[in-house]
Chain A
Amino acid sequence: GAGVSQSPSNKVTEKGKDVELRCDPISGHTALYWYRQSLGQGLEFLIYFQGNSAPDKSGLPSDRFSAERTGGSVSTLTIQRTQQEDSAVYLCASSFNGRALYEQFFGPGTRLTVL
């Protein structure tokens, strides 16, 4: 079946502009995660959605970052007033979270470059 999809694959923007990144999880997966990976670095957790519960926003680095998930499916990560340090690959993952398996499957990522 189809995996996690993300769009756009690449985004170049100017400092101070807002950007929206989209994630479409695997059908039937109830949980959705956003991570950030800077060049040569590990994964940084940003936010987590589980079903209709309130999201866990504990990883968002600043109030310029926000995310929503509509209808328990597609999610949008918004970065306002982008800064050069926001340049990274933004990864989305989804999981079923049934039977306590918690296996996360990643999308291809969006490479964000802030000039």
Chain B
Amino acid sequence: QKEVEQNSGPLSVPEGAIASLNCTYSDRVSQSFFWYRQYSGKSPELIMSIYSNGDKEDGRFTAQLNKASQYVSLLIRDSQPSDSATYLCAVNIAAVDMRFGAGTRLTVKP
């Protein structure tokens, strides 16, 4: 079992819809969870951090964390074509131990 698993996609949603991206992780001691957005040919950009169970909202983005289920998700409301990118889930166990998922490619169709 991979340490951080994501559906590779591609995930396609129409403009204005909610995009739901999911991630599961295997290590129960994981403490910190992150979502990065990576446009083609660019480096990853941190868009959300979440440390406690529940929801965290930032603009159109909502991160959800359920440590009991070892599950973290990212919701993008009112999806825009500019949201089309690969989204990387990252899980941090300790300072050095950041594990990245392979990413989910999202396409938002106008």
Enumerate chain B residues within 8 angstroms of A79, measured Cβ to Cβ: none
Q: Given that A42-B102, A42-B103, A108-B43 are contacting pairs, would A101 and B32 also be in contact in the complex, using a CB cutoff of 8 Å?
A: yes
Count of interface residues, chain A, beta-carbon cutoff 8 Å: 22
Q: Report yes or no: A42 in contact with B49, Cβ–Cβ below 8 A.
A: no
Q: Report yes or no: B43 in contact with A104, Cβ–Cβ below 8 A.
A: no
Q: Which of A14-22, A43-51, A68-76, A80-88 contacts B (4 or more CB under 8 A)?
A: A43-51
Cα–Cα distance between A48 and B94 once the two chains are bound (Å): 12
Q: Report yes or no: A103 in contact with B46, Cβ–Cβ below 8 A.
A: yes
**8 Å CB contact of A102 from B32, B43, B44:** B32
In the A-B complex, the 5 residue pairs with the closest CB atoms: A42-B102, A106-B43, A43-B100, A48-B96, A102-B92
**Hey, which bits of chain B sit against chain A, CB under 8 A?**
31-32, 34, 36, 42-46, 49, 88, 90, 92, 95-96, 98, 100-103
**Hey, which bits of chain A sit against chain B, CB under 8 A?**
31, 33, 41-43, 45, 48, 50, 56, 89, 91, 97, 100-109
